[in-house]
Amino acid sequence: MKDFTILVGGQAGQGSRKAGLVIAKILNSLGYRIFIYDDYQSLIRGGHSFSKIRVSDKKVEGQSEELDYIIALDKETIDKHLDSLKDSGTVLFNADRIEFKKGLGIKSETIAKEEGGSSIMANTVMISAFAKTIGVDFELLKNVFQKEFKKGLDINLKIAERVYVEVIEKTKIEKLENKILPLITGNEALALGSVEAGLDMYYAYPMTPATSILHFLAGRKLGVETIQLENEIAVIIAALGSAYAGKRTMIGTSGGGFALMTEGLSFGVMAEIPVVIVNSQRTGPATGVPTYSGQSDLNFVLNAGHGDLVKFTVAPSNADECYEWGGRILNLAWKYQTPAVVLIDKEISESTFNLDINSKIEQENNSLWNQEGEYRRYEITENGISPLAFPGNGVVVKTTSYEHDQNGLTAEESEEEITAMQEKRLRKFEAMQEEVDNMEDAIKIFGNKDSKNVLITFGSSTGPAIEAAEKFDLKVVQIVVLEPFPVIQVTEAVGDASLIVCVEQNALGQLASLLAKNGIEAEELILKYSSRVIQKGEIEDLLKEIL
């Protein structure tokens, strides 16, 4: 088995997500590459939740439509997913709740209770049964349990050992020589990257799917102060205050929360205060589909903030890029003293990837005042970037949301001062554009680089697009930096393409509109806006028609 998918499903509260993670860690420790997609409804109990674990001998960053194994804790899992099971696939099911004539039925809750456990430990039964079915050694299973079950370890091991003895091995999974890589979600990787670049403060009001950034940073001793406030307006204003005082600050939310932050974002541009905003998209408008994914905030984020302004906006597509850009965007925000946005979505935030990083992110301090001469917070400079100082170091540091002079005093009576300050910020925007123009990785190119047929995409659409392109020998262009737009790199990558196809997860073709604004026309669009993530097979089917 070189590439296979396991689905673990049940009601919320039955532990399907935990079971999926443990199974993934067992296979990860054998050298396999892992991608976990977690699907859940906006419920605490009941409903239908499942984890899809894709396992491969090479790195994977997206789901597979077909299933090789279904592990069902309730009947709804079989009812909903049996059609996706391959003819050669296997079903393992909880026989206490399910009547099913095929596959391997195990009275999971009965066994768990007989060994002194509770009904929720049915997931332990299913983990052990699956492990034995595919020939995983019990010692490996035991090692993973010891790391994953901090409470009730003895009972869980007792249950697992009984089941392991009773179930028959069906196949023997081979151990690979691949380096063992850690498993991490996109949100966790983003948090770690920002910590490497010197993150001091993280503020948030919990909003799916960004909430786990707050939980991750609060639950670990990483030197970051985490604060939960009453709403997103309070979050961004507090964050601006922290950054003004010299603390590297990040905040996180989803589309509805970002909407409340936009006035504060404009404040940050005017006051030249660096703050990083994570917008993890879910399906909108309004409350939309709270626990599912989309890419429909692109236009909103790019146009957020009133007045003439430019900010950095980046869209990583996997955990590696989240880690890298979590640090880089913090450094860029501080270098240019401006708000910056990381645009991800539920698929990236909450999915689990292997993290494969080879370089360390360093904190950069590019624009600090040299403590010589008179200090003026908004001093007019050639590149528009003024020296940065903080209260308490012997100088007065004024900040304001009003247009101002070089000292930070309101300048509404002077057209000359207003024009001069606007032009100072415009020069800074030009410097930001030049920074992007000189980046080697503002975009990435995959597939057949000589192909005249080009897919252009961003964010979580990238992984499925790359896999689909392999079948048709296409070029794929992933746009990582969305603002300032890397027009030079994209134009060069597209070259004399005969066909450009945009792949994105919204209804209006927002990426295609951004391309058109920069002189690049996409002839065809592949769009998905059902709140479920676009799949490789869906892209392939539409490419057949287009090509």
**Average pLDDT, stretch 457-463?**
97
Spatial contact of 458 and 479, defined as CB atoms under 8 Å apart? yes
341 and 225, same domain (yes or no): yes
In a domain, 176, yes or no: no
What residue type is assigned to position 371 of the chain? Q
Confidence of residue 46 (pLDDT cuts 50, 70, 90): confident
Calculate mean pLDDT across residues 355-373: 88
| CATH number for position 505 | 3.40.50.920
Residue 175 domain flag: no
Q: Residues 160, 203: one domain?
A: no
- Identity of residue 377: R
Indicate whether 58 and 142 sit together in one domain: yes
Residue 174, domain member (yes or no): no
Total number of domains in the chain: 4
Q: Are residues 221 and 245 in the same domain?
A: yes
CATH number at residue 35: 3.40.920.10
Mean pLDDT, to the nearest integer, of 76-94?
A: 95
For the chain, give the percent of residues with pLDDT over 70. 100
Domain's final residue, options 438, 467, 483: 438
In total, the chain counts a number of residues equal to 547
Residue after which a domain boundary falls, among 375, 403, 438: 438
The Cα–Cα gap between 385 and 378 comes to: 8
pLDDT in tens, 297-313: 999 999 999 999 999 99
pLDDT in tens, 140-182: 999 999 999 988 999 999 999 999 999 999 999 999 999 999 9
324-337: average pLDDT: 97
Q: Has residue 128 been placed in a domain?
A: yes
pLDDT in tens, 483-523: 999 999 999 999 999 999 999 999 999 999 999 999 999 99
Is residue 27, in this structure, part of any structural domain at all?
A: yes
Please state, in angstroms and as integers, the Cα–Cα distance from residue 369 to each residue in 273, 295, 389, 394, 432, following that order. 15, 39, 6, 12, 20
Q: How confident is the model at residue 372 (pLDDT cuts 50, 70, 90)?
A: confident
Q: Give yes or no: residues 299 and 245 share one domain.
A: yes
Exposure string for 471-497, b = 16+ CB within 10 A, e = fewer? ebebbbbbbbbbbbbbbebbeebbeeb
For residues 463 and 343, membership in a common domain is answered with no
142 torsion bin: left (phi>0), alpha (psi -120 to 50), beta (else)? alpha
Residue 71 and residue 91 in one domain: yes
Specify whether 18 is located in the same domain as 140.
yes
Looking at the structure, tell me whether residues 127 and 40 fall in a common domain.
yes
The CATH number of residue 235's host domain is 3.40.50.970
**Same domain, yes or no, for 337 and 377?**
no
- For the CA atoms of 142, 105, 50, 47, the dihedral, rounded to the nearest 10 degrees, stands at -130
What is the average pLDDT across 84-91?
Answer: 95
pLDDT digits over 118-140, tens only?
Answer: 989 999 999 999 999 999 999 99
Residue 39: domain span: 3-166
- By the 10 Å C-beta count (0-12 exposed, 13-18 middle, 19+ buried), 458 is classed as buried
138 and 55, same domain (yes or no): yes
Whether residue 233 lies inside any domain: the answer is yes
Q: In the prediction, which pLDDT does 41 show?
A: 84
Residue 23 has which token pair?
């199974």
Whether 309 and 329 share a structural domain: yes
The pLDDT-based confidence of 1 (bands split at 50, 70, 90) is: low
| Domain assignment of residue 515, yes or no | yes
From 410, 438, 466, give the residue that closes a domain: 438
27-42 pLDDT tens trace:
999 999 999 999 988 7
pLDDT at 238: 98
Instruction: Please say whether the beta carbons of 81 and 18 come within 8 A.
Output: no
Residue 347 has pLDDT above 70, yes or no: yes
Using DSSP, state whether 475 is helix, strand or coil. Answer: strand
CA separation for the pair 443, 441 (Å, rounded): 5
* Domain contains 327: yes
- Integer Cα distance of 150 and 146 in angstroms: 7
Q: Name the more confident of 315 and 393.
A: 315
Provide the mean pLDDT of the chain. Answer: 95
